[in-house]
Amino acid sequence: MMASSYNAKEEDGHHSGPSSHGGAGAVKSKKPDNTAFKQQRLPAWQPILTAGTVLPAFFVIGLIFIPIGIGLYVTSNNIKEFEIDYTGVDVSSPCFSCAKNYSWDSTTSCTCSVNFTLEQPFESNVFMYYGLSNFYQNHRRYVKSRDDSQLNGDRSALTNPSKECEPYRTSEGQPIAPCGAIANSLFNDTLVLYHVDSNGTKISIPLAKKGIAWWTDKHVKFRNPGGNDNLTIAFQGTNKPVNWRKPVFELDPDDRDNNGFINEDFIVWMRTAALPTFRKLYRIIHKKSSSTPTLASGRYILDITYNYPVLSFDGRKRMILSTISWMGGKNPFLGIAYITVGSICFFLGVVLLIIHHKYDSRNSSADIPN
């Protein structure tokens, strides 16, 4: 405004000349428009927050939240969840030796078996997760260490990955595919589940490995480098991540739709977790028939091919079996929170009612509805 003062003043002086002689034209032009907006008289709704108006809202919130909370809490409690730590920290634990004698270079993989018992049958589909603790997948250096263009099948990015992938960008002079710290640290334990039936025989439980990744990730965001049906050729000129035992095109040699970048285990891993303790979907155990539970109660054996070292950073590995409701896995928090907030609202409603009657009872008749 200040800047334009020069012009304004020139104009000013110019105007004041004629207006002093009583020019009617000048009068007209300066008269402000009498519109509702310019006169700040737009029609408006003028609500005021008073005890009277807020009261019903508090009660309504209370009345809605408490049942929702109870519903959520009950749902959460009905979910069956089983969790077992197989890190092998204790000497007594079966994976102790695997955990202890771990080395990246070993060609033979160490296996161990964990026995456990399910007290209750798991009725609906069961989701099998692996969980890691103290693993900072949300560390900044880690989160950004990927190349989405490469993962999307971009050929130039395949051979020339983003700088963000450093120091997992090249190995032995060749670009790494998939590059970056996330891919490099792909979880590579193999978990196999057996049911031990009453006569002691191990029955392998079929674990579905499809449907564990987001559909959009698998079909849009992740793509193998195109142009060639043969993935081995498509990935030619690239090297495997240093920690991997096999190259990316051998992640699932049996299923072409689950191999390379579109391997679902890989995609699941690539979605970095929000917190240092996290779980990731590993397999799904589909319900076979309506009569028998998916996982009957009884003894089970978890066979682990122990490839993934976590003890070096004081981490833990878990296997989780969980059923799922409409609201996801077991999480009493939401239900409790709803009940708490609902009760607080209800309680505050009562307090406000008292305040309202005591202090502004004058207006009560006008303000309280119904």
Partner 1 sequence: MGLDLSTLRTLISRYCAGEENWVDSRTIYIGHKEPPPGTEAFIQQRFPDNRIVSSKYTFWNFIPKNMFEQFRRVANFYFLIIFLVQLIIDTPTSPVTSGLPLFFVITVTAIKQGYEDWLRHKADNAVNQCPVHVLQHGKVICKQSRKLRVGDIVFVKEDESFPCDLILLSSSRDDGTCHVTTASLDGESSHKTYYAVQDTKAYNAETEVDSIHATIECEQPQPDLYKFVGRINIYMNNEPVARPLGSENLLLRGATLKNTEYIYAVAIYTGMETKMALNYQSKSQKRSAVEKSMNAYLVVYLCILISKAFVNTVLKYAWQADPIRDEPWYDQRTEAARQRNIVIRAFTDFLAFMVLFNYIIPVSMYVTVEMQKFLGSYFMMWDDEMFDQELGERAVVNTSDLNEELGQVEYVFTDKTGTLTENNMEFIECCVDGHVYVAQAICNGQVLPGADSMDMIDTSPGPEARQREELFFRALCLCHTVQVKEEETVDGIKQGIHRGKSTSFYISSSPDEVALVEGMKRLGFTYLRLKDSHMEILNREEEIERFELLEVLTFDSVRRRMSVIVRASTGELYLFCKGADSSIFPRVISGKVDQVRARVEHNAVEGLRTLCVAYRPLSPAQYQEVCLLLSRAKLALQDRDKRLAEAYDIIEKDLILLGATAVEDRLQEKAADTIESLHKAGMKVWVLTGDKMETAAATCYASKLFHRNTQILELTTKRTEEQSLHDVLFDLSRTVLRQHGGMSRDVSGLSGDYMDYGLIIDGATLSTVMKPGQEDSNSGNYKEIFLEICRNCSAVLCCRMAPLQKAQIVKLIKTSKEHPITLAIGDGANDVSMILEAHVGIGIMGKEGRQAVRNSDYAIPKFKHLKKILLVHGHYYYIRISELVQYFFYKNVCFIFPQFLYQFFCGFSQQPLYDTAYLTLYNISFTSLPILVYSLIEQHINMDILKKDPSLYRDIAKNSLLRWPIFIYWTLLGVYDAIVMFFGAYFLFDNTTFTSNGQMFGNWTFGTLVFTALVFIVTFKLALDTHYWTWINHFVIWGSLIFFVVFSLLWGGIIWPFLNYQRMYYVFMQMLSSGPAWLSIVLLIIASLLPDVLKKVIWRSLWPTTTERIQMKRRCLASQPSTIFMLSQTSSRISF
Of residues 300 through 359, those in contact with partner 1 by CB under 8 A are: 309, 312-314, 322, 324-331, 333-334, 337-338, 341, 344-345, 348, 352, 355-356, 359
CB of 174 to partner 1, least distance (A): 18
Stretch touching partner 1 by CB under 8 A, among 9-17, 108-116, 195-203, 231-239: 9-17
With binding defined as CB under 8 A, does residue 281 bind partner 1? yes
Give the tokens for residue 36: 């509702």
Number of residues that bind partner 1 (CB under 8 A): 126
Backbone angles phi, psi at 264, to 5 degrees: -70, -35
CB of 132 to partner 1, least distance (A): 10
**Selected binder of partner 1 within 118, 191, 212, 295 (CB under 8 A):** 212
With binding defined as CB under 8 A, does residue 56 bind partner 1? yes
Contact 65, 345 (CB under 8 A): yes
Q: How far is CA 272 from the centre of its chain?
A: 8
Subset of residues 128 to 187 that bind partner 1, contact rule: CB under 8 A: 129, 131, 135-149, 152, 162, 164, 166-168, 181, 184-185
User: Residue 35: what residue type?
Assistant: T
In the bound state with partner 1, the residue whose beta carbon lies nearer, of 253 and 333, is 333
Report in angstroms the alpha-carbon separations of 257 from 129, 184, 198, 209, 272. 22, 21, 38, 12, 22
Q: Which helix (H) or strand (E) holds 30?
A: helix 24-30
With binding defined as CB under 8 A, does residue 34 bind partner 1? yes
Contact 322, 80 (CB under 8 A): yes
**Selected binder of partner 1 within 193, 251, 268, 319 (CB under 8 A):** 268
SS3 127: strand
**Selected binder of partner 1 within 97, 160, 188, 363 (CB under 8 A):** 363
Q: How far apart are CA 57 and CA 49, in angstroms?
A: 11
Contact 297, 156 (CB under 8 A): no
Subset of residues 98 to 127 that bind partner 1, contact rule: CB under 8 A: 125, 127
CB of 179 to partner 1, least distance (A): 13
Q: How far apart are CA 239 and CA 146, in angstroms?
A: 15
Stretch touching partner 1 by CB under 8 A, among 227-235, 244-252, 269-277, 294-302: 269-277
Q: How far apart are CA 320 and CA 132, in angstroms?
A: 11
Stretch touching partner 1 by CB under 8 A, among 18-26, 194-202, 244-252, 292-300: 18-26
CB of 230 to partner 1, least distance (A): 25
Asked whether the bond before 369 is cis by omega within 30 degrees of 0, the reply is: no
In the bound state with partner 1, the residue whose beta carbon lies nearer, of 196 and 327, is 327
Q: How far apart are CA 290 and CA 123, in angstroms?
A: 9
Stretch touching partner 1 by CB under 8 A, among 87-95, 192-200, 277-285, 289-297: 277-285
Give the tokens for residue 353: 């009612």
